[in-house]
Amino acid sequence: MKSTRIILSAAVALSLLALSGCGDKEPAKADNGLPAECNEYVTTVSTCVTKMSKDNKAMADQFKTQMDAATESWKKVSDKEALKASCKAAMDAFKPTLTQLGC
């Protein structure tokens, strides 16, 4: 599924940010017309990226571009139930990484 590849790409990009430090700012909650599970994923990952972007802005900008592309792609998915399941699975899979990153 194309959305799964996008989610995995976003996860890989965030994993690369593990080498950066943490900052203080947090983004606003995602509100983009997607299922709550996808908004939770976007908000959680974006918050972590924002915290980590202090020392690696270029990497954070790259991640933001990838997340924006993923979000736009998800909006085009007609099966919202499958999208919910994909976003929930991505969040569940990403939780250990968030912990490792200190997010």
- The span from the CA of 100 to the CA of 98, in Å, is 5
Q: For 78-96, what is each residue's pLDDT tens digit?
A: 999 999 999 999 999 989 9
CA atoms within 13 A on the CB side of 60: 20
Residue with tokens 């099966």: 79
Tens-place pLDDT, residues 48-80: 888 877 777 887 888 888 888 999 999 999 999
- Tokens found for residue 85: 């399941």
Contact 93, 14 (CB under 8 A): no
Direct distance between the N- and C-terminal alpha carbons of the chain, in angstroms, rounded to an integer: 28
